[in-house]
């Protein structure tokens, strides 16, 4: 029913290889998925530290095999270990945990729910989503909402952006009267901006490839929008630079920082790069008075965050398990409903055929006789196959099936009263009847 392919921050080594590969795939992934005939619906989630494909199918094995071939084609041999495939309840459970923030680098982070919503909406616009995935994605978003309203999982430093601001505060002691540059204006940069509110920085510069986006984010902070071509000038006047762009290559290089630091040699500069792939060249860390941190530096905050949220994680997992159990019960009921539908169709056909015969006979035969024959015919036709299968099951030692049939017909109590003494009594009665016939 559901088969999904995953490559996430948990399966990748520090997420670096994941983000080296996925951005290069582009629309090729969607085209490859679309060409698999067994895939009826699909949603692709592609974020800075997560790549997932959820599919609806009537042939799990074929889709699993298709994913295996896709991995071999798209992922170099030494990076295939970062991928894995899930099916049915495991896949649905993973989606639920993703939306709740339980599978995130920063436990409880909020951005992933928005990212899943966007991916789902895009799939709907493209026509790649039908009833099955719509049902499960809507349920996942509902579970995420429930976790956020019934637990404190998303309280505190629950995102990469907020953790970056927390790390900067720890490093600098305070952000009060500090000059800050933000490179980027996407989801993570927006979270950074929101977490800077109330920190009382002296000035905030926002630079982005799309200048209008930079202007919008700067207005939230009462800051200044800077064209990307002038980002180095903004950094020159800053105590802190927070980098969160989606560029596939470094936007801050060694020569950039060397130049700006030559004009402020005694003033320290803290750079925190939360982009994936990294957007600040590693050799920048070698420059005097420059400290460079990245996502690896946030691991300690992430672990502290997870430890603080153990109780909330436990409560959130309980909610996820409850919802999965509910889905499982619904699926069982749907299975029963499908059997009932097929049986009903079969009985309706049988009834229609016998009724046609009865109507034809009623023109020449006593109505009471017609009704009697009709009722007998219906009972015989309905039970013939059941009785035959019951006898076959009994001959083959299938006591479980015999018991199930007795339960379905509501006669299990009568059957349980059918003891060895009952069988002996029936045998005696038969022998007595034979003896009476012989004597007469």
Is the backbone peptide bond immediately before 151 cis, with ω within 30 degrees of 0?
no
Burial class (CB in 10 A: 0-12, 13-18, 19+), 343: exposed
**Cα–Cα distance, 83 to 22 (Å, whole number):** 12
Give the tokens for residue 259.
């130049």
Q: Give how far Cα 309 sits from Cα of 106, 111, 303, Å.
A: 11, 18, 10
**Cα–Cα distance, 381 to 87 (Å, whole number):** 41
Given 17, 48, 100, 402, the catalytic residue = 48
Residue with tokens 């510069």: 205
Determine the distance from the C-alpha atom of residue 359 to the mean position of all C-alpha atoms in its chain, rounded to a whole number.
57
Question: In the annotation, is 48 catalytic?
Answer: yes
Could you tell me which residues come within 8 angstroms of residue 404 by beta carbon, excluding any fewer than 6 positions away?
A: none
Q: Is 58 helix (H, G, I), strand (E, B) or coil?
A: coil
**Cα–Cα distance, 202 to 196 (Å, whole number):** 11
**Cα–Cα distance, 280 to 29 (Å, whole number):** 28
**Cα–Cα distance, 334 to 310 (Å, whole number):** 36
Q: Is 344 helix (H, G, I), strand (E, B) or coil?
A: helix
What values do phi and psi take at 204, rounded to 5? -130, 125
**Cα–Cα distance, 50 to 15 (Å, whole number):** 9
**Cα–Cα distance, 166 to 198 (Å, whole number):** 13
Q: Which of 24, 50, 176 is nearest to 111 (CA)?
A: 50
What residues act catalytically?
Answer: 48
């Amino acid at each position: 029913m559901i088969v999904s392919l995953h490559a996430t921050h948990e399966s990748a080594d520090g997420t670096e290889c994941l983000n080296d590969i996925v951005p290069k795939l582009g629309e090729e992934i969607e085209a490859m998925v679309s060409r698999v005939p067994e895939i009826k619906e699909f949603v692709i989630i592609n974020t800075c530290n997560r790549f997932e494909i959820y599919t609806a199918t009537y042939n799990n094995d074929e889709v699993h095999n298709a994913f295996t071939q896709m991995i071999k084609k798209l992922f170099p041999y030494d990076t295939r270990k970062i991928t894995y495939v899930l099916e049915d309840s495991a896949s649905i459970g993973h989606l639920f945990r993703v939306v709740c923030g339980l599978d995130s680098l920063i436990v409880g982070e909020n951005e992933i729910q928005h990212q899943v919503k966007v991916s789902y909406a895009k799939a709907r616009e493209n026509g790649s989503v039908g009833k099955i995935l719509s049902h499960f994605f809507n349920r996942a978003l509902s579970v995420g909402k429930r976790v956020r309203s019934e637990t404190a999982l998303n309280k505190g430093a629950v995102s990469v952006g907020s953790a970056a601001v927390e790390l900067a505060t720890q490093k600098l002691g305070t952000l009060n009267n500090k000059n800050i540059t933000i490179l980027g204006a996407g989801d993570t940069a927006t979270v950074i901006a929101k977490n800077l509110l109330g920190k009382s920085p002296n000035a905030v510069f926002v630079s982005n490839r799309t200048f209008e986006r930079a202007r919008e984010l700067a207005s939230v902070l009462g800051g200044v929008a800077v064209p990307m071509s002038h980002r180095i000038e903004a950094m020159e006047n800053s105590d802190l630079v927070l980098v969160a762009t989606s560029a596939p290559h470094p936007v801050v290089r060694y020569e950039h920082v060397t130049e700006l630091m030559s004009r402020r040699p005694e003033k320290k500069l803290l750079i925190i790069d939360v982009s994936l792939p990294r957007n600040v060249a590693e050799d920048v860390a070698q420059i005097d008075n420059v400290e460079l941190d990245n996502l690896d530096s946030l691991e300690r905050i992430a672990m502290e965050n997870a430890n603080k949220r153990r109780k909330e994680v436990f409560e959130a997992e309980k909610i996820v398990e409850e919802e999965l159990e509910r889905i499982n019960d619904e699926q069982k009921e749907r299975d029963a409903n499908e059997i009932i539908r097929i049986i009903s169709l079969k009985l309706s056909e049988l009834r229609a055929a016998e009724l046609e015969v009865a109507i034809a006979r009623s023109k020449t035969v006593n109505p009471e006789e017609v009704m009697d024959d009709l009722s007998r015919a219906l009972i015989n036709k309905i039970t013939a196959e059941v009785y035959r299968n019951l006898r076959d099951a009994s001959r083959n030692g299938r006591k479980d099936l015999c018991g199930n049939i007795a339960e379905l017909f509501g006669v299990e109590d009568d059957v349980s009263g059918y003891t060895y003494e009952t069988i002996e009594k029936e045998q005696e009665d038969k022998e007595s009847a034979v003896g009476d016939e012989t004597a007469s």
